[in-house]
């Protein structure tokens, strides 16, 4: 396998594990952890393609990854704020119990 | 090379001489290993010296003698402390989380030692000359917060957890002014590399140095950086999370023996590395203060400045009262953050005024006035709700 | 070279995937958050191996220094540190696992089958100055938008997580 393929397979593995966490675990915070893992795997893909692709001096992959890191941090903050607010209401973080919109 | 230049570069020459004994393909590795050995030997040695200095210094400030039984004037006290902490029983609470409890001091010490890698100790004496050295240092400093949380949580103790949460909240709050006040230096120098920052401060006009602390924005940045550094390393007057009279011992209540010694070491080494960084960014790194003193080796100047910074921190610890948690956080977010942002604007104005017709001493006056006015106004505004009357004393009758 | 991979890459990849697996399988939430931190560190090492110094250090600063601490604080504030009162896995865990495995199989097949034989080029020399120039010239619009986004997210997260007692007492005040 070429070096690029190695990095892409690792990124695919981390993405799949993040997806598994988001789909199978019951705690809301663990789902957010899974989402963060998926975003990180996508970042790894971006940087790997920047390094081994055409025109690395244009820095496109790096810029994309930088903005992705910033947006992921913002989204983690808001998501965790939502989980904390919901917990304050219903004293639980069980996703299987968050089935209704009325509080 | 002249004798002065040889003395200046003596450690570099020693490193090259020892590496000459090894085959060519092994030489880069040997050079780095020698640099690492030097750091691991020098800074814990300074740590041992600092414990004596601190206890004697605090003792004299508090009108008592410090430890004076071990060795002449108590100089061998660190040896006694080391033997004690190595031979004490290592108690781990039954309900504590064993793995995390064990890993917390390790993570702290590893992160702190990594921070020394980008510190330029002398001319040509930096372990790794990273292009993004400043970013590396702050990234590693941010990882120490995690180890404090690990220590506090794994002890399964209310006081430890509370101390850890307070400490982490304090460290996160003060990271923002710390980073912003160092961004000013990066703006003016044009590089994130610590070596280039020191080299940009190595000129002299007349016999006065070009250090950044002697400019209005540099002085404000230095003051902000030092205050934020004190809060980052949980030193007095910001040591509420670990104050002995407050929370037993805060997040390391449940640690004893060698792990406690590791936490102590990690904390003091963190103080050294951030003081070294303040010296690199604002006080000219390894540069001499006057041009006629350049015969003293560069590494000697760095260690002298480091000693001065340590003495200043010890002096502050003995003199100032502790800040309460809400006072700490208010100070960080409502005073230091606006001042750091204003400092950025003033530094930008300094740079661009220097090229126009208002250069020379006029930009000194404008920048200093802006900073002073902001400082006074912000202080007045934040204190307007506290009706502080004149101090009154009550004596026991 | 083991199996055709370089040792450094193999070690880092194993650490990263092991951290991610531990985050998926452990019962204690704080342990999951800490193994997530190990994954972040492994990814930062992978970025450094790819020659992206700035992104690697930014990953450590933002993810380990901020996001991991945020996750841990959220766990503490929702009292998830003790034994959870419900089973850790959702009732439809099997289908989630199947979907994730299918996704990985598809991605890995696409990667291995479709790349040309050799794409190795010299590591591009990227200086921080070029990143700064690029941010200020070609990417200034995304930079400003991300600044606005971060401010909005900051204010929004504070408002969402603020205790409601204060807001309702303010509403009931002037009546």
Contact B149 C81 (CB under 8 A): no
What pTM was computed for the model?
0.90
Tens-digit pLDDT profile for residues C36-59: 999 999 999 999 999 899 999 999
- Burial track A46-66 (b if 16+ CB lie within 10 A, e otherwise): bbbbbbbeeebeebbbbbbbb
C163 Cα to chain A: minimum distance (Å): 8
pLDDT of residue C84: 61
How do strand B204-205 and strand B208-209 relate by DSSP bridges? antiparallel
Which helix or strand (DSSP H or E) is residue B209 part of? Answer: strand B208-209
CA-CA distance, B16 to B9, in Å (whole number)?
11
B135 vs C contacts (CB less than 8 Å): 54, 57-58, 61, 128
A69 vs C contacts (CB less than 8 Å): 55, 58-59, 62-63
Residue C123 confidence (pLDDT) above 90? no
Q: How long is chain B?
A: 397
Taking residues B188-196, report their average pLDDT. Answer: 91
Residue C168 confidence (pLDDT) above 60? no
* B140 compared with C87, residue with greater pLDDT: B140
Residue B160 confidence (pLDDT) above 90? no
Residue B334 confidence (pLDDT) above 50? yes
Residue C169 confidence (pLDDT) above 50? no
Share of chain C above pLDDT 90, in %: 50
C14 Cα to chain A: minimum distance (Å): 9
Of C58, C25, A100, give the one whose Cα is nearest residue B136: C58
Taking residues B66-91, report their average pLDDT. Answer: 85
- For residue B300, CA distances in Å to B8, B124, C35 come to 9, 14, 43
Tens-digit pLDDT profile for residues C126-143: 888 899 999 999 999 999
Residue C13 confidence (pLDDT) above 80? yes
In this prediction, residue B202 has a pLDDT band, given cuts at 50, 70 and 90, of confident
Share of chain B above pLDDT 70, in %: 96
pLDDT of residue B359: 65
Residue C170 confidence (pLDDT) above 50? no
In this prediction, residue B245 has a pLDDT band, given cuts at 50, 70 and 90, of low
In this prediction, residue C173 has a pLDDT band, given cuts at 50, 70 and 90, of very low
CA-CA distance, A29 to C162, in Å (whole number)?
18
The nearest alpha carbon in chain B to C35 belongs to: B100
* Token pair in block for residue C7: 């040792």
Class assignment of domain C1-83? mainly alpha
- In this prediction the ipTM stands at 0.91
From the list C58, C60, C129, the residue facing B143 with the nearest CB is C60
Contact B94, B86 (CB under 8 A): no
Per-domain residue ranges of chain C: 1-83, 127-175
From the list B136, B153, B191, the residue facing C57 with the nearest CB is B136
Q: Which letter does DSSP use for residue B205 in this model?
A: E
Residue C82 confidence (pLDDT) above 60? no
In this prediction, residue C171 has a pLDDT band, given cuts at 50, 70 and 90, of very low
pLDDT of residue B379: 87
Tens-digit pLDDT profile for residues B47-72: 999 999 999 999 999 888 888 888 88
Other beta carbons less than 10 A from residue B339's beta carbon: 22
Residue B107 confidence (pLDDT) above 60? yes
pLDDT of residue B244: 55
CA-CA distance, B137 to C145, in Å (whole number)?
28
Other beta carbons less than 10 A from residue B135's beta carbon: 22
Q: Which residues pair with C5 in a beta bridge?
A: C2
Interface of C with A in 117-146 (CB under 8 A): 117-121, 123-124, 126, 130-131, 134-135, 139, 142, 146
Residue C18 confidence (pLDDT) above 60? yes
Q: What is the mean pLDDT of chain B?
A: 87
Contact B100 C66 (CB under 8 A): no
Residue C2 confidence (pLDDT) above 60? no
Per-domain residue ranges of chain B: 89-382
Q: Does the A3-97 domain belong in CATH 1.10.287.3510?
A: yes
Q: What is the mean pLDDT of chain C?
A: 84
What are φ and ψ of residue C89, in 5° steps? -105, 145
Of C36, C38, B153, give the one whose Cα is nearest residue A76: C36
* Token pair in block for residue B165: 């949460």
Per-domain residue ranges of chain A: 3-97
């Amino acid at each position: 396998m070429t070096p690029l393929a190695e990095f892409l397979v690792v990124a695919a593995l981390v993405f799949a594990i993040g997806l598994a966490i988001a789909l199978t675990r019951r705690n809301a915070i663990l789902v957010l952890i899974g989402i963060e893992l998926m975003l990180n795997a996508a970042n790894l893909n971006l940087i790997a393609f920047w390094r081994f692709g055409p025109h690395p001096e244009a820095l496109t992959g790096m810029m994309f990854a930088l903005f992705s890191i910033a947006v992921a941090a913002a989204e983690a903050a808001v998501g965790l704020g939502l989980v904390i607010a919901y917990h304050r209401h219903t004293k639980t973080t069980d996703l299987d119990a968050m089935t209704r919109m009325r509080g | 090379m002249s004798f002065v230049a040889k003395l200046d570069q003596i450690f570099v020459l020693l490193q090259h001489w020892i590496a000459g004994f090894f085959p060519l393909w092994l030489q880069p590795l040997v050079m780095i290993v020698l640099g690492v050995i030097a750091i691991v030997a020098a800074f814990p040695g300074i740590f041992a010296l600092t414990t004596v200095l601190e206890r004697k210094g605090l003792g004299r400030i508090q009108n008592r003698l410090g430890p004076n039984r071990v060795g002449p004037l108590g100089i061998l006290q660190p040896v006694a402390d080391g033997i004690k902490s190595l031979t004490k029983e290592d108690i781990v609470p039954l309900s504590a989380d064993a793995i995390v409890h064990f890993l917390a001091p390790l993570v702290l010490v590893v992160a702190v030692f990594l921070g020394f890698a980008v510190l330029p100790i002398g001319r040509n004496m930096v372990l790794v000359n990273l292009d993004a050295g400043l970013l590396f240092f702050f990234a590693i400093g941010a990882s120490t917060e995690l180890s404090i949380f690990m220590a506090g949580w794994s002890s399964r103790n209310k006081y430890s957890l509370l101390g850890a949460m307070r400490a982490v909240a304090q460290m996160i709050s003060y990271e923002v002014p710390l980073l912003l006040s160092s961004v000013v230096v990066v703006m003016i120098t044009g590089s994130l590399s610590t070596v280039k920052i020191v080299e940009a401060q190595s000129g002299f006009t007349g016999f006065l140095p070009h250090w950044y602390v002697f400019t209005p924005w540099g002085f404000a940045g230095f003051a902000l950086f030092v205050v934020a550094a004190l809060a980052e390393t949980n030193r007095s007057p910001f040591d509420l999370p670990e104050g002995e009279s407050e929370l037993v011992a805060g997040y390391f209540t449940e640690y004893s023996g060698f792990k406690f010694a590791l936490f102590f070491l990690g904390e003091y080494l963190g103080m050294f590395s951030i003081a070294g960084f303040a010296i690199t960014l604002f006080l000219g790194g390894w540069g001499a203060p006057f041009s006629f003193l350049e015969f003293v080796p560069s590494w000697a100047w760095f260690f002298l400045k480091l000693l001065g910074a340590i003495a200043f921190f010890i002096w502050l610890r003995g003199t100032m009262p502790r800040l309460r948690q809400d006072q700490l956080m208010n100070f960080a977010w409502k005073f230091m953050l606006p001042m750091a942002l204003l400092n950025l604007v003033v530094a930008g104005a300094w740079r661009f005024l220097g090229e126009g017709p208002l250069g020379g001493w006029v930009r000194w006056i404008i920048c200093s006035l802006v900073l002073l006015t902001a400082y006074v106004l912000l202080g007045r505004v934040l204190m307007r709700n506290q009706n502080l009357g004149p101090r009154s004393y009550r004596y026991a009758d | 070279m083991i199996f055709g991979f370089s040792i450094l890459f193999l070690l880092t990849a194993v650490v990263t995937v092991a951290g991610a697996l531990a985050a998926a399988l452990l019962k204690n939430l704080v342990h999951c958050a800490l193994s997530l931190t190990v994954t972040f560190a492994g990814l930062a090492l992978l970025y450094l191996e790819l020659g992206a110094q700035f992104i690697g250090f930014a990953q450590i600063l933002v993810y380990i220094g901020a996001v991991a601490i945020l996750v841990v604080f959220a766990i503490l504030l929702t009292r998830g540190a003790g034994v959870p009162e419900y089973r850790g896995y959702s009732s439809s865990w099997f289908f989630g696992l199947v979907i994730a495995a299918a996704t990985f199989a598809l991605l890995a097949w696409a990667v291995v089958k479709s790349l040309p034989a050799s794409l190795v080029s010299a590591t591009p020399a990227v200086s921080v100055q070029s990143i700064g120039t690029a941010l200020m010239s070609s990417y200034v619009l995304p930079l400003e938008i991300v600044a606005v986004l971060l401010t909005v997210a900051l204010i929004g997260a504070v408002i969402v997580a603020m205790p409601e007692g204060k807001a309702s007492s303010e509403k009931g005040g002037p009546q």
